Chain A
């Protein structure tokens, strides 16, 4: 055995029980918070033990298969590992569009679509995301083929340092599917769970409305705080 100590801890805390990992895999620990997950220790993953010395606490890792941007991605994670950290730190190559900023579900920089719905990936456990499609900002478009929201963010200068941008783009892209022609107030409401520190909000709203179907010429556009036009007419 590569590490006696490791094995001992694993035995002490999580007596061998073939069903345990199966249980977690099958039922998942949906609903269990990270605090609960912290207490759960799994048996060492057989392959990992065989291949290399265990590197983690009691080797309490399990293999998860995540479906990120239509690709199957495997990673060895602990039960407490969040979806965000699994993507950023455990899958290879990393998926780093979603950012770790507040780590407490307040800022929205880690927003991804899980089963098409926007979620804070810092509040979702990786094991809970198995078998559900995950879409990150990278999956929404590429610089050569941006989606309407990404293109509008570029056009309207809805970003400065850009660290909040993946979250905003993801949130708004999901919202516009639900409501293709929103008002300014609906846009504000839709992204109230996203923070920007540089102060891009007015241009984020502008970009969201421009990206929305049917706007850019009417309706919500008129409601828009368009400083550029104001500035030019004044000048």
Chain B
């Protein structure tokens, strides 16, 4: 009789949008893989160069955008130029006649309006639909209401991108303009044009006791109340959204997608193509950035499938840069009205927040205030969150959705309160942060940047160029889920392959996948081959919420561990020892004083080699990280120009799989955050309802000249032998640190991002007038 497997209870933390909860789960109490101490690895937790770096540095890594298939057509999308309008007439006759145009599809609309329908039917009669000898009958959907500038109206497929562009220009669309609103301040007014029938304000959540909080402000010695605003930010992935649909009729298709989720592609594409899901393969060999915006095939993918289905030929549909700005999502803006009060000794006792997430047609993302690092210690807190709708493209997740916005606002008001009370901003934070990990990280970063050099009085110092420092903290979950199935195979010739369908966004997935297997077998990274980015391989989760590493790495480890045990069983008789006594290190398989090279040992394998599968192991991952950032900036008070001088960020991560890639990821977080603080933001014109800066020439991103000295520090004080994702954690605190540094430098508190020179100059002017 088989004994029932013993169970044990373990605690794991689960995070939803960065808010963690600790839950107890039951797992089999059997011996399984463990990482061992973080400082005892041969390969992991070291600087590992990326395995795909040579391909990328030589320009031969093939991205979806680089795919070119025989007979492939190029797709292009016609977008609405209006923020809110009804399509009254859509005439594709001229476009159809252009040689090289193979297919045109009209984006299905929401409503059919009588007059528009008639106009379109007449247009139908007039327009021949025959192109190039093929009978193409585009569906017509007149009366479609477009609700934002950039909403797709039609799409074409043509033999060259140049012809596709001509075809888009040749489609004639007449619109009946409808009232629009693209500024939140206008949208909340009672007489504002309605973005959606339900109205422009969507209540989302309320937390805390408002009456008690309001009363608590009477007990405070110092109170600060202010509005903080952040604009809509664009992901600006260098590879735009898009897919290449390889469908030539028949019952199967292959989709090359620029996506964060290999497995988010086949189902949706199959639906559009009318195929069985199992007959559609998704390939994501390399991808050029996503930052939260690339899940599923999107409207562009749907249109590409419709076009491919129509002509039974491969279609490549990569968005143009302008498409990307106008219809591929964005990070929601925010407008937060905060009030905070503290005792003279620096204890915060009251906090009131009214937060508005500005996600265009979407609900937006907004972490609740007081932002989690500060949440535990404030006795009386209340917040309410609403979404304010505007006629703009719906927001999507973007690296730590809602967190940088929340961090910026609370770190600003806490700074203001600290100065009002007359406490050092660092000391004030330490007093009000419950978790001691923050104390450790703040003190370390303070030492690194030289906090003692800071301006004691904001704006002090002579001369036009003034320096200042600021700091802030962040948090994230980063745990994993049971979603990855990994296969490790060892061939008799010694070749080792690790395979899983997951994707590498530039985060280093390929590299650590190999490294974990190499570590387990005592081999080197170059001895392993990884296969990823293919939906025919083992299932894996989409890369969102910093969950990839914590979901994938434990599964890889488990697969390697199982393969190693199987290998040990095979090799043990050769060495004359028990399987448990076989060791794997330095390219050798050894035991009982004997030693075999890896290749020699593999001869013991059956001719088919061996294959092992791995599943997620909750004990190999954890969740919940901190992070602290300090910034030093120089403000020119004559021009209002801000030059970042130095940034330091400390990040805990449990077991750092690859220190080199981790440093890069922390740098990347700091840089994107710096961009939000000083330069980036969607600029709209409320009268026209359009975006004024939809291109890299006008949407200002951080460049080489703006870069400060950057110090990315891994907090090895965190000794948890568990993998945690920190891609998102890394982007959160820098924003607050930079904003506070600007204030410390010149005395101007800018509460609306980005901190452009005009805001500094206006602040100095106002200060001079009121002084």
Chain A residues close to B by CB (< 8 Å):
3, 5-6, 53-59, 78, 80-81, 85, 88-90, 94, 96-104, 106-107, 109, 136-138, 140-143, 146, 149-151, 153-155, 157, 159-166, 169, 187-189, 191-192, 194-205, 225, 227-228, 230-231, 234-235
Contact = CB atoms under 8 A, between A and B. Distances in A.
Contacts of A143: 54-55, 58, 60
A102 B322 CA distance: 8
Contacts of A98: 59
Nearest to A160: B506
A109 B166 CA distance: 25
B97 interface: yes
Nearest to A153: B57
B50 A200 contact: no
Interface string B136-173: 00000000000000000000000111110010000000
B239 A161 contact: yes
B65 interface: yes
26 contacts: A5-B99, A53-B132, A55-B100, A57-B162, A88-B68, A89-B161, A94-B68, A96-B62, A97-B58, A101-B238, A102-B695, A103-B320, A107-B696, A141-B57, A154-B49, A157-B664, A160-B289, A160-B507, A161-B289, A163-B288, A188-B704, A197-B238, A199-B668, A202-B710, A225-B711, A230-B711
B530 to A, nearest CB: 16
Interface string B289-328: 1010000000000000000000000000000110000000
A154 B53 contact: yes
Interface string B267-297: 0000000000000000000111101000000
A171 B287 CA distance: 22
A161 B287 contact: yes
B63 interface: yes
A78 B59 contact: no
B384 interface: no
Nearest to B672: A199
Contacts of A191: 704
B98 interface: yes
A231 B288 contact: no
B288 A199 contact: no
Contact of B50 (A88, A150, A157, A230): A157
A88 B98 CA distance: 23
Contacts of B320: 103
A56 B745 CA distance: 59
A170 B705 CA distance: 18
Given A80-B162, A169-B57, A231-B663, 8 more contacts: A5-B97, A54-B99, A88-B66, A99-B65, A102-B697, A153-B53, A161-B239, A161-B505
A6 B98 CA distance: 9
Contacts of A106: 695-697
A203 B667 contact: yes
Contact of A201 (B60, B695, B704): B704
B696 A97 contact: no
Contact of A155 (B49, B63, B716): B49
Nearest to A166: B59
A32 B237 CA distance: 31
B669 interface: yes
Contacts of B66: 88, 94, 96
A168 B587 CA distance: 37
Given A55-B99, A102-B697, A199-B672, A157 B56 contact: no
Contact of B709 (A194, A200, A225): A225
A20 B716 CA distance: 70
Contacts of A204: 704
A80 B162 CA distance: 8
Contact of B663 (A5, A101, A141, A227): A227
Interface residues on B, range: 35 or more
Closest 10 CB pairs between A and B? A97-B59, A199-B668, A161-B506, A162-B56, A163-B288, A199-B671, A137-B59, A160-B506, A96-B66, A143-B54
Interface of B: 47, 49-50, 52-63, 65-66, 68, 74, 97-100, 132, 159-163, 166, 236-240, 286-289, 291, 320-321, 444, 448, 505-508, 659-661, 663-665, 667-672, 695-697, 701-705, 707, 709-714, 716
A68 B663 CA distance: 36
Contact of B65 (A81, A100, A159): A100
Nearest to B68: A94
A142 B695 CA distance: 33
Contact of A137 (B58, B665, B697, B701): B58
B57 A154 contact: yes
B57 A195 contact: no
Nearest to A159: B56
A117 to B, nearest CB: 18
B518 to A, nearest CB: 18
Contacts of B50: 154, 157, 159
B57 A146 contact: yes
Contacts of A56: 99-100, 159-160, 162-163
Contacts of B507: 160
Contacts of B163: 55-57
A89 B49 contact: no
B664 A195 contact: no
A196 B703 CA distance: 7
Contacts of A202: 667, 707, 710
A169 B61 CA distance: 14
A196 B58 CA distance: 17
Contacts of A59: 99
A53 B134 CA distance: 14
A197 B237 contact: yes
B161 A85 contact: yes
B238 A195 contact: yes
Contacts of B697: 102, 104, 106
B47 A199 contact: no
A189 B669 CA distance: 23
A57 B100 contact: yes
Contacts of B671: 199, 201
A165 B239 CA distance: 12
Nearest to B695: A104
B97 A161 contact: no
Nearest to A235: B716
A160 B696 contact: no
A157 B53 contact: yes
B49 A197 contact: no
A103 B667 CA distance: 27
B162 A163 contact: no
Most buried by A among B99, B321, B672: B99
Contacts of A230: 448, 711, 713
A156 B28 CA distance: 42
B696 A150 contact: no
A103 B321 CA distance: 7
Contact of B47 (A195, A197, A228): A228
Contacts of A205: 704, 707
A194 B132 CA distance: 42
A116 to B, nearest CB: 18
Contact of A162 (B160, B286, B665, B709): B286
Contacts of B716: 235
Most buried by B among A151, A153, A191: A153
Most buried by B among A100, A109, A166: A100
Contact of A146 (B52, B54, B161, B239): B54
Contacts of B287: 161
A136 B59 CA distance: 8
Given A197-B289, A234-B448, A138 B99 contact: no
Given A55-B159, A161-B238, A227 B711 contact: yes
B407 to A, nearest CB: 18
Nearest to B132: A53
A78 B218 CA distance: 74
A21 B710 CA distance: 54
B65 A203 contact: no
A85 B505 CA distance: 25
A97 B705 contact: no
